Amino acid sequence: MNRAYYYDTKIGRISIVENGDAITHLYFNEIEEKDVMIEETPLLKEAYKQLSEYLDGTRKEFDIPLKPHGTEFQLKVWNALREIPYGVTCSYKDIAIKIDNEKACRAVGLANNRNPISVFIPCHRVIGSNGKLVGYGGGLDIKEKLLNLETEVNHL
């Protein structure tokens, strides 16, 4: 049985879900899963602690186990997202090139949009090739806050 817990953060109320071994989801709204018990576990506490440190500007990398579920292509994209350094942005095309599929920009965008563990898997670091912010599951205002946070911390 998956466990989840709600937390109030600097980017609003979120819920984090784990499967007993790893974090599987971060939601910016109500939990969408049916078979989940609302119970704070040590892993969820640690995920929240690391997320809070990140939002406070004192953590740049996460070291909790993550287990997103998706297609082989989505997993490739999500792994590439995890390699984007803190404070750096790139485009969908950059990610497509990184996964050796340069023409898959649109598919990369769809996979980015379906990232189930936002922030921990930093899909917010992907922007349009024209430098503009593009869609984000938590809303563009949260994406902008996350990018601004990383920029500010990198300039300290």
- In a domain, residue 80? The reply is yes
| Structure-model confidence comparison of residues 115 and 154, the more confident one | 115
What contacts 55, CB < 8 A, 6 or more positions away? Answer: 9, 10, 11, 149
Of 67, 76, 80, 78, nearest to 24 by C-alpha is 67
Domain that holds residue 11: 2-55
- In a domain, residue 66? The reply is no
- pLDDT at position 132, please? 74
pTM across the whole model:
0.91
As a whole number, the mean pLDDT across the chain is 91
- pLDDT at position 58, please? 94
5 close to 39: Cβ distance less than 8 angstroms: yes
- pLDDT at position 1, please? 87
Give backbone dihedrals phi and psi of 69, rounded to 5 degrees, phi first.
-105, 130
Instruction: Give DSSP secondary structure letters for 23-79.
Output: EEEEESSS---SSEEE---HHHHHHHHHHHHHHTTS-S---S-B-----HHHHHHHH
In the numeric block, which tokens belong to residue 139?
């809303």
Mean pLDDT (whole number) for 116-134 = 87
- In a domain, residue 35? The reply is yes
How many structural domains does the chain have?
2
Residues annotated as part of the active site: 123
- pLDDT at position 156, please? 59
Percent of the chain predicted with pLDDT > 90: 70
Q: Token match 């946070």: residue? A: 149
63-77, pLDDT tens digit by residue? 999 999 999 999 999
Q: Decide the pairing of beta strands 126-127 and 12-18.
A: unpaired
- pLDDT at position 37, please? 92
- In a domain, residue 64? The reply is no
Q: Is the pLDDT of residue 155 over 70?
A: no
Percent of the chain predicted with pLDDT > 70: 96
31-57, pLDDT tens digit by residue? 767 789 999 999 999 999 999 999 999
Same domain as 84, residue 43: no
- pLDDT at position 59, please? 94
Residue 66 Cα distances to 17, 104, 116, 128, angstroms: 10, 25, 10, 26
Same domain as 85, residue 45: no
Instruction: Give the separation between CA 21 and CA 129, rounded to whole angstroms.
Output: 36
